[in-house]
Each structure stands twice: as structure tokens, then as C-alpha cells.
Amino acid sequence: MKILEPLTVGGLATSNRVWMAPLTRSRAQMPGNIPRALNAEYYAQRADAQRGSGLIISEATPVSPTGHGYYATPGIHTDEQEAGWKTVTDAVHERGGKIVCQLWHVGRVSHTALQPNGDPPIAPNGRNSKSKTYIDATMERVDASTPRKLEVDELPGIVRDFAQAASRCVRAGFDGVEIHGANTYLLDQFTRDGMNDMPEPYGGPLENRLRFPLEVAQACADAIGAGRVGYRISPLSDHHDAIDSDPGATFSVLAASLGRMGLAFLHAVETWDRSKIDPRVETVIPAIARSFKDAGGGAYVANGDYTVELANQQIESDWCDAVAFGKMWISNPDFTERIRRGGPYNQWNRDTFYTGTEVGYTDYPALADA
């Protein structure tokens, strides 16, 4: 199966094309949003060079105090967090695995309870997101708070936050980073014409709307090398009321610009539910991937409710170079070995996705234990 073959993207050599998608699990040490031994065990279980993921993309990781939008998500903006992540990357590398950190700023998808001094979240508009979040260990969902619209002179500081976070990631032992530009978080809010209310030069025409996301990508590439940087998008998503009048054009231009930087990979959420897939996927996604590669970018990585069979088919047909799976990695720490053997696969338990303990986190059995 081609999905089991190695792949080199930029400066990253991966043992297979079965990647682990970023998965928020809300199990950081609190207070402080610090990665801990439980997190290291979880990632190490999925890191074995033969049985595990070709490349682990970490859970979304805030680059600054204002970047947090959910309780107990590990950050990468303090020395304690950096040290905590070092225990994770050491554990992954001891198993022969590779791991990149997904850099995250939620923008308006947050709550005052999670923001410094109880301030409102920040965003390129002052409108409420339709999303919900959780702000304490009860994990009860509450409405996101009304954001404060950013001032233009604040943006260079956020760009620096991303670049400094990328540098912290390298010091913490990560093999690279993935910039989170998807799912209506901050960079996606700037990209889409339905969410960006900024004045020039960061709002209005497409060139302006892409300016801030591209400044972030370039700053990260300058900090650690473009061959160690990926970027995630969700061009056809309406997640959290994401709106864009022409996502095909918007994200093709973004992809070409990222390709010209020489980024290692572009990672797209194609759908949340393959039974309800947007018919535009068949034309929009290949155009975006082609724009990225033709401009000098590396691999295209697909994500979106894939079966193993469809993933292998899409790789063999050159639709994509790798597929990032999510929930299958939650319940199958040796997912690649299970693919090699044709199963069986553990079923995940959605009720334990965010419970904060080892239950539903590190207690799913590998084949030798099943």
C-alpha cells in the first residue's frame, strides 16, 4: 500500500504517509497550560517508527496568552511550557517518531475567562462568533465572548508571537511547526472576506486579507527554515460561521503565496463529514494543491473523515501525498500497524475526548495488549 511508503517533505523525512492530525485533548497541567508526563506518554504511544504515525502534528498550541480559547490546552509561550514540551518530544524521538507543533491563535473563538485580565478576545472584527468553548474543568460549553477589534499597530506583535513560538518549538525538540490557518481561528478570520473588517492594508481586497497570515508564515519560515513549516487550511468549512464569497480563489492565491515561500506542506481539512461532503471539493481542492506545488511548495496533505481505503486510493491517484487521520489515532495508538494487518480497529469513545484524565487518552490497547 502506498500509504505505508516513506515520504520526505521539505526537511522532514517521514516513515509513512499515515499522519496524525492535530487533536485538542485538553489535558495540560493547570494552572499554566503546561504539557506533562501524561501528554508525553500519549504521544509516545503513537510515535513508533514502524507501528505509529509517519508524522505527528501536535494538538493546537497557543502562541501567546491571548491565543487561548479552551481550558487546559498546552501553550508554547512560557519557559515552563517549553520545558514540558521537551519531555514530549524526547519521548517521541526515543520511539523513533517525528513530531511538529501546531501553532495556534484562536482570535475571537474564546472567552473572557481565558484571556489575560479578563479582557475580551481579539479579532479582525467586533462580532460574536457562533462558537462555544469550555472555560474550566467541568468542560461545559459556553458561548464565546464578544471580541475586541484589533488595531493595525497590534499586528506586528502577534507576528512576533508566532515567530518566537516557532523558535521555542525548535528549542523544545520539535521537528517543525504547522501554522493553524483553519477552522475560523485568527488567521482564517483575516483570510475570509466574511470575517475580516480590518482597514487597509489588512482588510478589503484579497491581497490585503492575506497580508497578515502571510506575514506570520514568513516570520516562522525565517525563524526556523521554510522546510520545517507547514500550514493548515479549511477552505470549504463553515465551522463556527466561517464565510468567504469565493473560497476557491481565496485559498488558491494563499496556497501559491505559501508555495513561493517554499513551505514543506499544505494541510487541508476537506470535509468534516464525508456523507455530507461539499461537491466543490472535487474542483476546489485540486486547484489549491496545484497552486501550492506549482509555486514551489512541498507536499499536499489531505484530511477529512477518510477511511484507510480511500486514503490509499487518493495517494495512489496523486490527489495527495499523505493523509492526516484524527479520531482513528485517538483509539488506535498503533494505527499504522493495524493498517498493515488489515485491522482490527478500536472504536473511539467521544465521551472521553476532553475529560482530562488517562481514561480515553492513554488506555486504548495496542495490538499486543488487545
- Just list the catalytic residues: 185
Cα within 13 Å of Cα(211), Cβ side: 16
| CA 189 remoteness from chain centre | 15
Quote the CA–CA distance of 148 and 179 in Å, as a whole number: 23
Work out the burial of residue 157: count CB atoms within 10 Å of its CB; fewer than 13 is exposed, 13-18 middle, 19 or more buried: exposed
